[in-house]
Amino acid sequence: MNSDSRYERGKLALAQIDGDAGQAVIDSLADIAPDLGRYVIEFGFGDIYSRPGLDLRSREVATIAALTAMGNARPQLKVHIKAGLNVGLSQHEIVETIMQMAVYAGFPAALNGISAAKEVFGETA
Amino acid sequence: MNSDSRYERGKLALAQIDGDAGQAVIDSLADIAPDLGRYVIEFGFGDIYSRPGLDLRSREVATIAALTAMGNARPQLKVHIKAGLNVGLSQHEIVETIMQMAVYAGFPAALNGISAAKEVFGETA
Amino acid sequence: MNSDSRYERGKLALAQIDGDAGQAVIDSLADIAPDLGRYVIEFGFGDIYSRPGLDLRSREVATIAALTAMGNARPQLKVHIKAGLNVGLSQHEIVETIMQMAVYAGFPAALNGISAAKEVFGETA
Amino acid sequence: MNSDSRYERGKLALAQIDGDAGQAVIDSLADIAPDLGRYVIEFGFGDIYSRPGLDLRSREVATIAALTAMGNARPQLKVHIKAGLNVGLSQHEIVETIMQMAVYAGFPAALNGISAAKEVFGETA
Amino acid sequence: MNSDSRYERGKLALAQIDGDAGQAVIDSLADIAPDLGRYVIEFGFGDIYSRPGLDLRSREVATIAALTAMGNARPQLKVHIKAGLNVGLSQHEIVETIMQMAVYAGFPAALNGISAAKEVFGETA
Amino acid sequence: MNSDSRYERGKLALAQIDGDAGQAVIDSLADIAPDLGRYVIEFGFGDIYSRPGLDLRSREVATIAALTAMGNARPQLKVHIKAGLNVGLSQHEIVETIMQMAVYAGFPAALNGISAAKEVFGETA
């Protein structure tokens, strides 16, 4: 498979999953590190999110959990909370996923994740 | 609800989800920090894993993703890879969840997660 | 012991230790994840901070040290710097605790911790 | 104050606090990075641990909490669990400090910290 | 070598490497933790950055990489992106260093690092 | 550029940089997650390490610094300490890079990095 098709496939997946928020990330890189934007599309979305074997809802549960637990990537967490809604997770399921991180990464991580969700839910209400 | 019922409910959830591996963790705490084992059961399993609103398969996807991304809790990651199998995730879905962490936490986290999965799959084969 | 008494005991401990800042955290969760606020009270304060065996001053030294070292939970660090003052730590002792983290988590963690302390001390002056 | 006195003061503090375990760390660096060992003594112990303003027991509570929460420095955590015993913390206080980290860094960090403490307590029994 | 000379040597190195941004960090500590500022100068710059055996360009590549990967120290990352320019790294080399972190610490770390670089390059343009 | 050429270019870069250790990582994935091995080659080495704009020595300084600072990826740190030697870094430069991390990620990270270097230098002596 050539690189063009990875890019095209990734671009479709990005639009489907992240919507406008994903494209905004790519656009913000255009004048400083455009290839990093290309890699997000090609590797992140063309390679990984396009894989069979795990449904998109589970993929977003995994990403929301990981970014909440890591606790150092709030902008990306917000993009993926939106993405979770886009692929069919309910607000309730997203809140449960974030709350569960209290067990594994501690309450501050969960509290800050909920704060991010509150911002996203407010914007998309 | 009183504490006894949280404990009883947590104990059932622990047995269902983590199987023997979960009880082994509790047992290892008995002589040094038994209350920490009690909190794992009461809060982790009696409170969090017993909540409605997110199915157990999604909960284990979230935990496997978070522990892989954090990269500093291999024993617990192995317990939850087993737990994922117990609640119905396929080996294939677990591998996909771990691989996806390469995007969010880097390749070393994903590689070390796969190494943990390989050990678990070998033991349970 | 039933859950009501854990909640009541936790609420008293929260008020004693964190003061208004703790209640503000709980309030901010009311419309999105009220059970997370309940767990903060029940588990964090009703179970852990209410335990005998370690005095409250030492508990806040431990928390300030941990949150400074983790470096990804500034709101919670500020709450616990206030809590440290509430339970009898001096500004000087809090500064020493944060400075010591330069040895274990590096200078950026210590510098950002001191910046959080400066904000809290300014607000409470 | 000249560097010699920082080194001498640090060496005394290291011996008092870490005992043989501290010197073993310094010795292990002698053939590859002796200056790193010197910095541990001069900065870590000659500068930081020798400061007035926070008692040694509190300093070890802070260090044990931070290393437990970070979760990626087990050898150093074990050295400082021993150091905690050396400066007068009881096993019980050390266990409480580590358990409390479940709230801030999650249960895996606390469980792995307890496992380190169990090894140290077993060796020093 | 006495402490005065460490301080003087560190002060020169700080001015050469970090420029005004470094001094601003020291100044911000003057009223709350002046000794932490002194340790930044003495240990960070007088001891470490003044060592032979690794050129300053490589030292700044190392620091920019580490702070990008850790993802919890944006103010310090910005100081060291400026420092990288001061010691002769091109904007292009700094962008490459940050992008490479996508492999080791994940895309969010790299994206947030690029965002910090964009701010610094805009200020220094 | 098609995917075959990314793979071929990555394979050459992997062999040049990581030598046998890199191939061993790929081989270990063959039966459980072969595509993760392919992504390491295609993205890590075919895309990133093959980029112009930053020399290979600087790229390995960046990677050794990041993995030392993160402190949760010892196997990968060892692979890249070997890689650093392969692309022309001296043992001395690698030790300096790792030591510098004491400033940014704390002494435990630096000490554990030196311990990894000692193992690698012993194996390659």
- The per-residue pLDDT for range A5-26, each reduced to its tens digit, is 999 999 999 999 999 989 999 9
Nearest Cβ partner of E92 from F53, F61, F73? F53
Q: Write out chain C residues lying below 8 Å of D87, CB-based.
A: none
Sequence-separated (6 or more) residues with CB below 8 Å from residue A80? A18, A60, A63, A64, A67
| pLDDT given at position E98 | 98
CA distance C121 to D7: 34
- For residue F2, is pLDDT > 90? no
- For residue A48, is pLDDT > 70? yes
Minimum distance, in Å, between the CA of residue F30 and any CA atom of chain B? 11
Shared domain check, E59 and E43: no
Q: Write out chain A residues lying below 8 Å of F39, CB-based.
A: 43, 47
Which residue from B minimizes the CA distance to A56? B97
CA distance C87 to C18: 9
Shared domain check, E68 and E26: no
- pLDDT category at F55 given cuts 50, 70, 90 is very high
- Report which of C110, E22, C81, C62 is spatially closest to residue D47, judged by C-alpha positions: C110
Q: Quick one: what percent of chain F has pLDDT higher than 90?
A: 91
- Torsion sign (Cα): C61, C67, C70, C71: negative
| Chain F contact present for D44, CB below 8 A | yes
Model confidence pLDDT, tens digit, residues B6-49? 999 999 999 999 999 999 999 999 999 999 999 999 999 999 99
* Final residue of a structural domain among F36, F51, F66: F51
| pLDDT given at position B1 | 55
Q: Write out chain C residues lying below 8 Å of E33, CB-based.
A: 95, 98-99, 114
Shared domain check, F12 and F44: yes
* Final residue of a structural domain among E15, E36, E51: E51
Model confidence pLDDT, tens digit, residues C40-86? 999 999 999 999 999 999 999 999 999 999 999 999 999 999 999 99
CA distance F81 to B69: 23
- Tokens standing for residue C36: 């997370």
Shared domain check, E89 and E47: no
Shared domain check, F105 and F64: yes
| pLDDT given at position D52 | 96
| Chain D contact present for C65, CB below 8 A | yes
Q: Do C44 and D101 touch (CB under 8 A)?
A: no
| Complex ipTM | 0.96
Model confidence pLDDT, tens digit, residues C88-103? 999 999 999 999 999 9
| pLDDT given at position E4 | 79
Q: Which segments of chain D have a pLDDT < 50?
A: none
> What phi, psi does C5 have (nearest 5°)?
-75, -35
Q: Is the pTM of this model over 0.90?
A: yes
* Final residue of a structural domain among E28, E51, E74: E51
- For residue F43, is pLDDT > 80? yes
Shared domain check, B114 and B75: yes
Nearest Cβ partner of E107 from A32, A35, A40? A40
Which residue reads 């997370």 in tokens? C36
CA distance A68 to C100: 27
Shared domain check, D59 and D112: yes
Shared domain check, D125 and D74: yes
Model confidence pLDDT, tens digit, residues E7-64? 999 999 999 999 998 999 999 999 999 999 999 999 999 999 999 999 999 999 999 9
pLDDT, average across residues F7-31: 94
| pLDDT given at position E1 | 54
- CB burial of F59-83 (b: ≥16 within 10 Å; e: otherwise) equals bbbbbbbbbbbbbbbbebbbbbbbb
Contacts 24+ apart (CB under 8 A), C51-55: C51/B35, C51/D96, C51/D99, C53/D92, C53/D93, C53/D95, C53/D96, C54/D61, C54/D93, C54/D96, C54/D97, C54/D100
> Residues D78, D20: contact at Cβ < 8 Å?
no
Minimum distance, in Å, between the CA of residue C36 and any CA atom of chain B? 10
What's the total number of domains in chain D?
2
Q: How many CB pairs under 8 A join B and E?
A: 22
Average pLDDT across chain B, whole number: 95
Sequence-separated (6 or more) residues with CB below 8 Å from residue F22? F14, F15, F45, F79, F83
Shared domain check, D105 and D88: yes
Model confidence pLDDT, tens digit, residues F56-110? 999 999 999 999 999 999 999 999 999 999 999 999 999 999 999 999 999 999 9
Which residue from B minimizes the CA distance to A67? B104
> Residues D17, D50: contact at Cβ < 8 Å?
no
Minimum distance, in Å, between the CA of residue C58 and any CA atom of chain D? 6
DSSP structure string for B76-114: HHHHHHHHHHHTT--HHHHHHHHHHHHHHH-HHHHHHHH
- CB burial of B91-123 (b: ≥16 within 10 Å; e: otherwise) equals bebbbbbbbbbbbbbbbbbbbbbbbbbbebbee
Q: Do F104 and E63 touch (CB under 8 A)?
A: yes
Shared domain check, E69 and E39: no
Q: How many CB pairs under 8 A join A and B?
A: 101
pLDDT, average across residues A73-80: 98
- For residue C1, is pLDDT > 60? no
CA distance D118 to B60: 29
Q: What's the per-residue H, E or C state across chain A? A: CEHHHHHHHHHHHHHHHCCHHHHHHHHHCCCCCHHHHHHHHHHHHHHHHCCCCCCHHHHHHHHHHHHHHHCCCHHHHHHHHHHHHHCCCCHHHHHHHHHHHHHHHCHHHHHHHHHHHHHHHHHHC
Domain of A64: which CATH number? Answer: 1.20.1290.10
Domain that holds residue D19: 1-51
Nearest Cβ partner of E36 from C71, C72, C102? C102
Q: Do C73 and A117 touch (CB under 8 A)?
A: no
Shared domain check, A93 and A38: no
CA distance D61 to D68: 11
Model confidence pLDDT, tens digit, residues D39-65? 999 999 999 999 999 999 999 999 999
Shared domain check, C22 and C78: no
- Report which of F34, F40, F124 is spatially closest to residue F78, judged by C-alpha positions: F124
pLDDT, average across residues A70-95: 98
Q: Do F103 and C106 touch (CB under 8 A)?
A: yes
Q: Write out chain E residues lying below 8 Å of F67, CB-based.
A: 69, 104
Sequence-separated (6 or more) residues with CB below 8 Å from residue B118? F28, F32
| pLDDT given at position A27 | 95
> Residues D80, D10: contact at Cβ < 8 Å?
no
pLDDT, average across residues F17-37: 95
Q: Do A39 and F43 touch (CB under 8 A)?
A: yes
| pLDDT given at position E90 | 98
Which residue from A minimizes the CA distance to E120? A32
